[in-house]
Amino acid sequence: MLYELLFPLADRHIIFNVFQYISFRAAGAMVTALLVSFIVGPVVIRRLERGRVGQVIRVDGPKSHRKKAGTPTMGGVIMLIAIVVSTLLWAKIADPYVNIAVGMTLLMGAIGFWDDYLKVVRHESRGLIARQKFFWQMVAGLALGVLLLSQPLAADDVTHRLVPFLKTVHLAFIPFVFPLFVALVVAGSANAVNLTDGLDGLAAGLSAIAALAFAVFAYVMGRVDTSFYLGLPYLPGAGELTVFTVAVAGSAIGFLWFNAPPAMVFMGDTGSLALGGAIGTVAVLLKSELLLIIVGGMFVLEVLSVMIQTSVFRYTRVRTGTGRRVFRMAPLHHHFEQLGWPETRVVIRFYILAIIFALTGLATMKVR
């Protein structure tokens, strides 16, 4: 919005020329997302407290978490407001990449809000049945895949996706399979962040790191010179996703102000599905779904820990009559808690590993 309003004034005064630069507007989006989070956060938390919208702690979870019962949840609303406000202010509002990213983030956040509402407001303990939640996530992802097929955002083949480390090799999909692939990526990303949201500050911090890594990719692929130099496809308009992804990171960091241990509020499915949906959508728009496995490495490990734990337990129960566990508790962050690590140590060490994964993902730009 500010671009449309102020950049035309550059003819009158050169200072308004800065609004053409994505780097300037991305910095503005980061600061705005932080400020909006700081301003909106206390208001939302008070409303949640008055409405007694408190977190329900899983009975079979770590005993140390039982004291968190009743902490306000659905705090993901704070991040959604910050993302939308900062993106609308600083990005080109007519850019299709931005419109799709914001729309998918709101849609996934709405699915999470619906689940949270049923659980903590209507007191329906199961919330949305897992199959129902996955179904609506897949519907949203399929709609995105069909949209990209019917209205391509770039000149090159939309079904060709990038393969990390390889310049001339692409992953190609049959057109009617492509929407299903997109749906699995978006739903998988959303659920991965949702599974990771088990410790104070963990999901928000990891999401901010992943979003900032994709901000670099969006910036590079939105420029002719840098994309050509690095052997990446040039995607006209994709540079505006830099503003969006930085806004996502800023909102997550702003949320950490209230979610840092001991948390004053939890994001709930409202926040985790929105963050995961945003990151997954950006990966799809940048043709970098495989890169998501590297950049979001900690999310992948969390999902794998659950899959391994469940599979081994079911297999051994059928074969021997007694289910065995690989981890003391899944997802992975609970395993380390059960080993005696303090919650803050788990979170900080996961941050460090996430930074390593993000840097590895960024290195793939040069190693091609």
Quote the pLDDT of residue 309.
Answer: 95
Calpha distance 200→261 (Å, rounded): 5
DSSP string across 324-352: --SSSSSSHHHHHHHTT--HHHHHHHHHH
Alpha carbon distance 166, 169 (integer Å): 6
Q: So what's the pLDDT on residue 63?
A: 61
Domain range summary for the chain, segments of one domain joined by + = 2-160+172-289
pLDDT value of position 143: 96
Can you give the pLDDT at residue 13? 73
Phi first, then psi, for residue 329 (nearest 5°) are -160, 145
Residues 309, 144: Cα–Cα separation, whole Å: 32
Q: Which amino acid is at 142?
A: L
Determine the straight-line distance between the first and last CA of the chain, rounded to whole angstroms: 37
Does the CA dihedral 196-140-25-36 come out positive or negative?
A: negative
Sign of the CA dihedral 105, 111, 116, 117?
positive
State the DSSP code for 153: S
CA distances from 94 to 1, 3, 90 (A): 9, 11, 12
Q: Taking a C-beta distance cutoff of 8 angstroms, is the pair 226, 220 a contact?
A: yes
Per-run averaged pLDDT (10 residues), the chain, 368 residues: 69 78 95 97 92 64 62 92 96 94 97 88 66 93 95 85 87 92 97 94 97 97 92 93 98 96 92 97 96 96 96 91 89 93 95 97 86
Q: What is the pTM of this model?
A: 0.93
Number of residues that make up the chain:
368
pLDDT on residue 16: 73
* Residue 155 to residue 157: CA distance in whole angstroms: 7
Give the pair of three-digit tokens for residue 46: 């008070």
Model pLDDT, residue 6: 67
Note whether 221 and 232 are within 8 A (CB). yes
Residue whose C-alpha is closest to residue 177's, from 158, 153, 155: 158
